[in-house]
Structure 1
Amino acid sequence: MLNATTSPNAKRRRLREDLASGRLLRAPGAMNPLTAVLIQELGFEAAYVSGAVIAADLALPDIGLTTLPEVVGRGHQIARVTDLPTIIDADTGFGEPMNAARTVQSLEDAGIAGCHLEDQVDPKRCGHLDGKTVTDTATMVRRIRAAVSARRDGDFVICARTDAAAVEGLDAAIERAKAYVDAGADMVFPEAMRGPADFEAFRKAVDVPLLANMTEFGKSELLTVEQLESLGLNLVIYPVTTLRLAMGAVEDGLRTIREEGTQAGLVDRMQTRKRLYELLDYPAYNAFDGDVFNFTI
């Protein structure tokens, strides 16, 4: 049945061990729980929950309009169904340092393995758009310290994302990252890197795990797993890929129905009922229901 059999702490320990393994972890974006099931079945190492995807799913732009309960709720739904570690986008922590502390504890309660907090000001912007504004370093340091001090499970991974490269330049972003590590961050997420040279500079300067964001249509060159591994990256996320694939197919399908008056020509492009039932594990639910229904005293 579709519930994780691995405890939240075991998932967190696994994430920490994998980040220290020297190999690159691949974490596709899970736009919903069913996608997380597929991510695990296909052999990826982690699942990622994107703030941009949560916002888009609510038909909202990624400008800090989502709330902590909405993010925690979606994170819990996804973590519940997979034995993979789930990493989630916690934006700016949803307020002041005390809010960041509450955010971490709420995500722990939801079974999440780790989160990233960023150094933008509210209202935040998508990391690959122009017009971002970053906090001063001291403000973000307080945000990270609050998050680190609030966690109750020491294996919960706190990642510091810096958006400063696009605002203040690469060198300034690296100096910020060093300060965030000193404040207790377990991992660094340098956002909107332009290409291999930027990642290489971060790798030389920072001695904690590094996260690479391979989002489409952004400022970053789309690098392969082999390239990222050779640069010493530890985790790669594909945050919006599944949503973009799905919505592209949905839009094409709706246009076809509008223009042709039937979906008959689309059936061979659809996931079959049989495949959906495999992912949902219908046999296990039927067996459980049968055992309970047929139980006699």
Structure 2
Amino acid sequence: MKLRALLVATAAISALSASAAFAAEPESCKEPHFADVGWTDNTAQNGLLKNVLDGLGYKAKIDNLALPLILEALKAKQLDFFLDNWMPSNAANVQPYLDEKSIDSLEPNLMGAGYGPVVPDYVAAAGVKDIKDLGANKDKFDGKFYGIEPGNDGNKIIQAKIDDANSGMAGFELVESSEQGMLSQAEKAIAAQEWVAFLGWAPHPVMGRMKLVYLTGFEKDGFGDAKINALTRPGYVADCPNMGKLLTNLKFDLAQESAVMDDITKGEEGQAAAAKWLKANPGVLDAWLAGVTTVDGGDGLAAVKKSLGL
């Protein structure tokens, strides 16, 4: 009887300890604050996560910010995390923060991505396959290379090549705009069979439908095969262990992101597009929510499924 009483008491103490540990989590952890950089893949990621957070009882806040501002906000602890750090292209921007330990980097949440300068297949067939081929055909491109928003890592790589007289891109103008603006220009040029060079990446449903060829000669600059990982403010995973567990569990794939992105590019709001995908593919929640509770310590998986009407 004494042994049984001891076991019961031990179990009760363990349960109380676990409950106390969860309750001791800072109040700020219940309102995760993260960023959307304006890329469709990031909007898809954020939409998927926001559906999960709503089901768990978190009150998430998402700010639309340019990449340099995101990094500074993470350092200043004005943001909790950012899901869409593309590597190795963003290495030069992120590394100083990692070196001074003012930003933490998590394990990749997406593998097998691609990023770099592209041309339409008919331009490649005409002989433009490498960076060195751009300069000789500058007039056919109207001297322009189309990038995305100012401050983007890819734009910085292209501008450095333009500034390098030996690169083959000397004399080009980098045209910076939004992702949507760049794609609109590219689609217009391709429809007219004009020559155009721009930044391309996968996953992306619109670019996935285009017949594009990645240019070689940029591999040492950070373009090529890519992986994506989350960045957090320093110490966030330890400060907010339940959110930290969710971010650690969160893994995406190319087909998943492309499907959500496709609906977004057709005009659907990001969270609605993500909810539709989750309802059609609920099995992904098992891995994402393993060991994750609701904000008040309840069954996380059951709560999210209920929230989504599953």
- Same fold, TM-score > 0.5, yes or no: no
When normalised by structure 2's length, the TM-score is: 0.28
TM-score (norm 1): 0.28
